[in-house]
Structure 1
């Protein structure tokens, strides 16, 4: 990428691991990589081995994320960490309605909780996000009810809500997913985990205004995602949009 001096970087998707010192470790990694701010959600709802199995075979858990821990950590971070509420759709929106006003966005993980995007409970959560003025970050997987086409159907029903398709879509080469979301201006793409060729395609097909830099820390070290972008030769203006302005806009410009 072409840069002129330091350009601010806003990580659109990181997880706060459980345990003492997790926020401090995240901030240290951010400092080492030149990342100024990060959107964070709770980690540890399921361990990586179980999540890997559920992504492929299906399955579900009815577990709540440590949203309170995320909120407390963000309150202590001087604005550098921005909390998203990790909703459990098995609560039918009661958890998010009670606490959502204290957060800056909504995180959904259909493959964790086993509730398809076509389920009315996700529509109810999206309606609450619209009420709070929140963006919605979510993962899709290749199963009926959980795919990018199902996200598109959900997003069409809530045109005033910005949906973030995480991890560059399904798998690491989801060019089809990019084409599916292309007609919907309220769906943007966060690129952690995707191939650099997929990021390039997203920039070309969606435009830099609909692509967000994210890391998926701690499963992915931010330096890996930064190296991916460095290989693409973005202009300073393109990088500013992807690395800062788009995530800032998702949060209302702050």
Structure 2
């Protein structure tokens, strides 16, 4: 069993990005990945049909795809209501995606914190894009995690240039979980496991931006103990999302 904790599917005329679920699943199949958490490219509310696309994709492939709706916190209570309704209406919606660079809201801003806390109350994790630009740096996400201790927050390992900072931040904040995508260095993954333990690292590819075969090889080449590799490749994310799955 392998579960990708971070992938994308959307067909967006405004942005010109066309990554239908069939494309994502084809790449999953090539790598031997069983399931993936997907998010759209556009925020809700907004002019693009990202959320409706996500609902349609989950209905098409309920055994392969899990959804995290992507919400823009700027709309306050409306954003919370959309998110809450989405989670409660569809058992395949298992979390929240926030992208501070696209919505230009700091992760620790009051509107964002309120949304993150609501996710915790609903019992679902929050994935926050973590990369090389303000306002999505590891320190900014860590500040949000400190304000929302009852919510699990998943993020990249700091992008290409902030991986070590992400590790330091996650070590300080116990509700931060790191995904293995967006860093090209396998040894950073090993270091994360040594610092945080095997329960706070989840396998991810950022498919289709990231290549699933390469991302999986990044884990395999570490030659982890079987029980640790199992936790990274599927068990940790399955437990976070309350998935009833097991090893193949």
TM range (shorter): 0.7 to 0.9
Change (3 A) 1:160 1:64: farther
Post-superposition Cα deviations, 1:161-208, rounded to whole Å, max 9, x if no partner, equal: 110022x11434511220111132211100102121211111111112
Shift of the 120–36 alpha-carbon distance from structure 1 to 2, 3 Å rule, reads same
Residue 11 of structure 1 corresponds to which residue in structure 2?
A: 4
Report the CA distance shift for 1:173/1:152 in structure 2 as closer, same or farther (over 3 A): closer
In the superposition, the TM-score normalised over structure 2's length comes to 0.85
Name 1:5's counterpart in structure 2: none
- Matching residue within 66, 77, 86 for 1:99: 86
State the partner residue of 1:169. Answer: 158
Q: Does 1:148 align with 2:146?
A: no
> Hey, what does 1:182 align to over in structure 2?
171
Does the 8 Å CA contact 2:5/2:202 hold for their aligned counterparts? yes
Which consecutive residues of structure 2, in runs of 5 or more, have no partner in the other structure?
Answer: 13-17
Does residue 136 of the first structure (1) align with residue 126 of the second (2)? yes
Shift of 1:78: 2.9
Within the candidate set 112, 130, 134, 1:122 is matched to 112
Q: Which residue of 2 aligns with 1:218?
A: 208
Instruction: Tell whether the 8 Å contact from 2:178 to 2:200 is kept in structure 1 after alignment.
Output: yes
2:50 to 51, 57, 66: 66
State the Cα deviation string for residues 26-59 of structure 1 (Å, max 9, x = none). Answer: 222211211011000013x39xxxxxxxxxxxxx
Q: CA RMSD in A?
A: 2.3
TM score, norm. by length of structure 1: 0.83
Structure 1 spans left out of the alignment, 5+ residues? 1-7, 47-61
Tell me the equivalent position of 2:31: 33
2:140 is paired with a residue whose SS is: helix
| Shift of residue 64, structure 1, vs aligned partner | 5.4
Counterpart for residue 4 of structure 1: none
- The answer to which structure, 1 or 2, has the higher relative contact order (CA under 8 A, 6+ apart) is 1
Aligned length: 231
